[in-house]
Amino acid sequence: MSKLILLIDDDVDEFHIFSMAVAMIEGDYQPVYAANVQQAMQLIAEKVPACIFVDANMPRQDGLSCVAHIRKLAHLDQVPVIVYSTRADEYLCKLAIAAGANDCVRKQDTLQRISDSLRQILQRV
C-alpha cells in the first residue's frame, strides 16, 4: 500500500515539482496536495499520511500555525511534520520545532536536490 505524503502549500506549481521529486525516489509513495489548511484538514480527516510537509509562507494561516493545528489532532501525533520553505533559516527552524514540527528543511533549487532531500527525510518515516 502506498504511503501518502502530504504537501500543504498555496502554490500548486510547488506540488508538481514535489511530485516529480517524489517519483524519483524508490519506494511506494503517493504525493497528495492541499492548497491550504482547510483542505488539509479535510484530507487528513479521511486518510492519515505517512508524512506531512508544510510550506511556511501561506496566506490566511501560515505554516507554523498549521503545524500547531495539526499537532492538536491526536490521530496525527505520530506523523512526522516537516516545515518546508525557501526561507528555512535557523530562526524559522527554531520556531517550527517550537510549534511542533519534527524538522525544518529548505526547498532546494534543482529537481535532483529536492529528490535527494526528500529521500533522506522519507527514509526515516
| Residue 6 pLDDT greater than 90, yes or no | yes
For residue 88, give every residue at least 6 positions away whose Cβ sits within 8 Å of its Cβ, in sequence order, or none: 56, 104, 105, 106, 107
| Residue 20 pLDDT greater than 90, yes or no | yes
- 104 close to 93: Cβ distance less than 8 angstroms: yes
Q: Please tell me the predicted confidence (pLDDT) of residue 123.
A: 86
Highest CATH level, class, for 3-122 = alpha beta
Q: Please tell me the predicted confidence (pLDDT) of residue 22.
A: 95
For residue 92, give every residue at least 6 positions away whose Cβ sits within 8 Å of its Cβ, in sequence order, or none: 56, 83, 85, 104
Percent of the chain with pLDDT over 70: 100
| Residue 52 pLDDT greater than 80, yes or no | yes
